[in-house]
Amino acid sequence: MTKALHVLLAACVAFAAPAFAQYTPSAGHNAPAAAYEAVKRADTGKVEFVPSKEGAAVSKDPHGNARGNQYDLAIDGAFEGQTVLIIDQTGNTLVNTRAALKLKGLNSVVIPNGLTPPIAEFKKQLAQSCQVWLISNGDARLTDEHIAAIKSFFDEGHGVYLWGDNDPLYVDTNRIANALLPGLRMEGNLRGEVAVGISQKPGGVGLKEGHLITTGLEHLYEGTSIATVQFTAPHGRNAALYDGSKFDASRAPELPAGFTAILYGSAGNLVNVAYEKDGKRLLMDGGFTRLAVSWDDAGTARYVKNAASWLVNAERFPQKVATITTAATKK
């Protein structure tokens, strides 16, 4: 076993406690330290991580990300039987998204545009889900009761993913965001269409280095036309957040406590932010086109899998996570 892989797998032993058993040895690393394989034992059905042959390099895809599901945040099938509830107000294709979720064992239930169920039924759907996603349109379509139910779901520790896109495709996303974390919102329309790398400085263009969500990602497609995450109530139209406007600090706002920037876009704008505090988890993302346009150009499939795995919040709900073993001592 190479020294690098020995260190990598030894670190994974620390994740072997039930709360972290779903994670691969690459968890929290944008690039794997060494090549390894995930092998499912025939006798136990559990997964072992086995080093690749001596000197084998980590295979990369055409975009420069590690190739293979073993380099995702979570093992395949880790969340078997759990469900992601997706409120889809846009009608864009979710075929690739749902297939990516399924690889991690996550079923998905999609509420189509215009068919949000009455509040009693909606609460039942939430109760059967480990997380809820909203892909927002340009007008208010959820009732206050639906938003209150999502807030209760969030306060219980279940994951929430709020997606928006170019102005005005974030109306209900902003309504929910403000109900959950007052002041949180998105605004604007800035050109994207770039696969960004790892950010080289705080607030710099690119991906957050070393976060669980960016596991196995050295490059990620930002989306097409995208909105910018903000943290204060709106005070009229912010021209800096729209195409053709001069860059200013509002594109990369100061992060309040509990927030971590996951992706700064090529326009210097905060596209994607994670919230983790008091046992709660939320993602806010101004680039939902990533789910339907130029899928996996680059890294979208892995990003979706990682984001959903993180939102399961297995650290708070370990009893719902599959248990794995690691081959940390295997030669």
pLDDT on residue 322: 55
The encoded tokens of residue 119 equal 């509040």
Rounded CA-CA distance 54/36 in Å is: 10
pLDDT on residue 331: 30
pLDDT on residue 1: 45
**Residue 321: which pLDDT band, with cuts at 50, 70 and 90?**
confident
Rounded CA-CA distance 257/131 in Å is: 22
Q: Partners of 273 in the beta sheet?
A: 261, 284
Provide the strand spans (E) within the chain. 36-40, 47-51, 83-88, 107-111, 131-135, 159-163, 185-191, 195-196, 206-207, 220-221, 225-230, 259-264, 270-277, 280-285
Kindly report the backbone phi and psi dihedral angles of residue 5, in degrees, each rounded to the nearest multiple of 5, phi listed first: -70, -35
**pLDDT reading at 197 higher than 90:** yes
pLDDT, average across residues 138-165 = 98
Rounded CA-CA distance 178/275 in Å is: 13
How do beta strands 270-277 and 259-264 pair?
antiparallel
Superfamily of domain 83-311: Class I glutamine amidotransferase (GATase) domain (3.40.50.880)
Rounded CA-CA distance 282/305 in Å is: 15
Rounded CA-CA distance 266/272 in Å is: 12
All structural domains of the chain with their residue ranges: 3-73, 83-311
Rounded CA-CA distance 306/105 in Å is: 13
**Residue 20: which pLDDT band, with cuts at 50, 70 and 90?**
low
pLDDT, average across residues 126-138 = 98
**Residue 265: which pLDDT band, with cuts at 50, 70 and 90?**
very high
pLDDT on residue 92: 94
**pLDDT reading at 8 higher than 60:** no
**Residue 10: which pLDDT band, with cuts at 50, 70 and 90?**
very low
pLDDT on residue 319: 79
**pLDDT reading at 14 higher than 60:** no
Half-sphere exposure of 268 (CA within 13 A, CB side): 13
Contact predicate 63/298, CB 8 Å: yes
**pLDDT reading at 21 higher than 90:** no
Kindly report the backbone phi and psi dihedral angles of residue 223, in degrees, each rounded to the nearest multiple of 5, phi listed first: 115, -175
pLDDT, average across residues 38-66 = 89
**331: helix, strand or coil:** coil
**Residue 294: which pLDDT band, with cuts at 50, 70 and 90?**
confident
pLDDT on residue 153: 98
Work out the mean pLDDT of the chain and round it to a whole number. 90
Contact predicate 33/313, CB 8 Å: no
Contact predicate 220/208, CB 8 Å: no
User: Order of strands across the sheet with 83-88?
Assistant: 107-111, 83-88, 131-135, 159-163, 280-285, 270-277, 259-264, 206-207
pLDDT on residue 158: 98
**44-48, 85-89, 136-140, 286-290: lowest mean pLDDT where?**
44-48
